[in-house]
Amino acid sequence: MPCLALSAVVALLLASCAEAAMPTIRLRVNKTRIGMGRSIELRAQATLPGGREHVRVTLTAPPQPFDRPVVLQLEGWAQIGGGAVVRPAGPAEDMMQAFAYRHLVPSQAFMVSVTGARRFAPTVALVGRGPVRIPAGGTARIQVATSGRPLLGATVRLALSEPPDGVTLQEVTPAPGGLALVVRADTKAAQIGYADNLIVEAFAEFEAKRQGGTAAAGKQQLSLGVLPAIPFEIVRP
């Protein structure tokens, strides 16, 4: 029987396999209905590319908050040895030992809590399907659709969260119905054929106030959340 083991750590999918090469693994929510007509959706971009052992993914929840935390069941499936293999993604916690070694410690359940929406945070979605292909030494344009309050403003900033070496966010501009993001892959640092997910985080920036109303040095920022995971691949120019 093909060996495929999956672990889910918050928003990180890890895999191990006895095959010579790690297959491409697609992750899905085993049970999307959470009762009362509500559901949690795992974005279609939740794919672990072949050869990779981990990938960061995102969850999209309904706009209405849940009255209690729910248990999320995740599973991954792949083609191994000519047949489909499906395995549950066991919940785990990434823990550090003695400030050096890290271990995946099994957890009882993968709990999800959906609370009220963040103030000023609009609804966002990616435009188009499939991975974004970024030429080495060049740029690629990513369209993001938004609804509700505009995401960009004098106090809102977008930034890549833990991007891979050589991949940077060059520009963010308003576009019809949303935003346009331009990402660049450095010729020397980015590896051709590398595939992963980009995580874009939105921050609200504001002037901190001291007691008495005087402004503190520098700006403070508050995370508004992340955009849906953006799958990408570095390709030849």
Residue ranges of the chain with pLDDT lower than 70?
A: 1-46, 117-122, 148-155, 207-218
**168-222 pLDDT, tens digit each:** 999 999 888 888 999 999 999 989 999 888 999 988 777 666 666 565 556 778 7
> Side chain identity at 3, as an amino acid letter?
C
- CATH code for the structural domain at 123-235: 2.60.40
Q: How far apart are CA 229 and CA 125, in angstroms?
A: 10
Which pLDDT belongs to residue 113?
Answer: 80
pTM score of the predicted model: 0.75
Residue 66, C-beta contacts closer than 8 angstroms, at least 6 positions apart: 34, 38, 113, 114
- Domain boundaries, given as residue ranges, for the chain: 4-112, 123-235
pLDDT number for residue 171: 94
Tokens representing residue 224 in the block: 């508004």
Give the pLDDT confidence of 75-88 residue by residue, as tens digits: 777 777 778 888 77
The answer for 130, left when phi > 0, alpha when psi is -120 to 50, beta otherwise, is: left
d(CA 9, CA 92): 5
